[in-house]
Amino acid sequence: KAGVTQTPRYLIKTRGQQVTLSCSPISGHRSVSWYQQTPGQGLQFLFEYFSETQRNKGNFPGRFSGRQFSNSRSEMNVSTLELGDSALYLCASSLRSGSSYNEQFFGPGTRLTVL
Amino acid sequence: GNSVTQMEGPVTLSEEAFLTINCTYTATGYPSLFWYVQYPGEGLQLLLKATKADDKGSNKGFEATYRKETTSFHLEKGSVQVSDSAVYFCALSDRNTGNQFYFGTGTSLTVIP
C-alpha cells in the first residue's frame, strides 16, 4: 500500500508570493491533517479535513488555508508569504476523524524556504 | 488544555546503553498517547502507541507504558543501536479534538559506536 505522498518536496519562494502544497493520503483514508514544523516552534497543527470539510483548525492566520477534494487529496495554500513561513510542512492521513484511537501516517514533508 | 512536555535533548549514548526519554502530558479528556520517530530528511513514523491507562506500547525493542496516575508515557529501550539515532516525539490525541495531535518538542538521540 502506497504511503502518504507530498509534492513538491522542496520549494523556494520570495516574500509576498503565494504557494500551494499537495498531499495524497493513503488509499482509503479520508482524513488529512497538516502540520508546520520549525526548529523554534516544533510541530504545530494547521488544520484537518475530512470528507471535504474542515473539521478543526489550529492557531494560524488566515493566510493559511486548505481544501480537500472528493478523492481525499488535499492542498494547502499560503498567501503573502513571510520569512517566518519557512518550515517543513507535513501532511498526515488517517482512516477517519473524531476518534482518539486514530493513528496518523505522515508524509515526507515539503520543505518551504522563503527568501 | 492539551499539552505534552518532553525531555530536553540532545541525548548522546553509547551503543548498547539503556535509553529513557521522559514524556508527561496534560489532557482535558481521555487521550491516546503516541511516540513518533523522525529520521533525517524524512517525515514522522509511528513507533508505538497506547490508547488507555496501563496499556504498554512496544515496537522494535522500544516500550512505553501509559501511566494515568503520573500522567506520563516515558520511552525506554534496553540496548540502543547506532541505527536508533533520530529525533523522538511524544504526542497525544484527544477524542474531543479529533485528529489534532499535540506534540512534544522532540528529543534528538545520537548513538555512538
What integer is the mean pLDDT of B54-61? 96
Kindly report the nearest CA distance between residue B65 and chain A, in angstroms.
Answer: 16
pLDDT at A35: 96
Mean pLDDT, rounded, for A63-87: 97
Give the model's pLDDT for residue B42. 85
Residue A37's pLDDT is what? 93
Q: What is the pairing mode between strands B44-50 and A5-7?
A: unpaired
CA distance B43 to B41: 7
Q: Say whether residue B77 is in contact with chain A using an 8 A CB cutoff.
A: no
Rounded CA-CA distance B91/B33 in Å is 6
| pLDDT tens figures, A88-106 | 999 999 887 665 557 889 9
For chain A, the 3-state helix, strand and coil shares in percent, each to the nearest 5, are: 5, 50, 45
Per-residue confidence at A56, pLDDT binned at 50, 70, 90?
confident
Contact across the interface for B29 and A103, Cβ inside 8 Å = no
- Chain A residue numbers with beta carbons less than 8 Å from the beta carbon of B9 are none
Average pLDDT over residues B70-75: 97
Closest-CA residue of chain B to A102: B99
Q: Measured between alpha carbons, how far is B101 from B39 in angstroms, rounded to an integer?
A: 19
Asked whether the beta carbons of residue B95 and residue A103 sit closer than 8 angstroms, the reply is no
d(CA B30, CA B71): 11
**Closest Cα partner for B36 from B94, B91, B101?**
B91
B51 contacts A98? CB cut-off 8 A: no
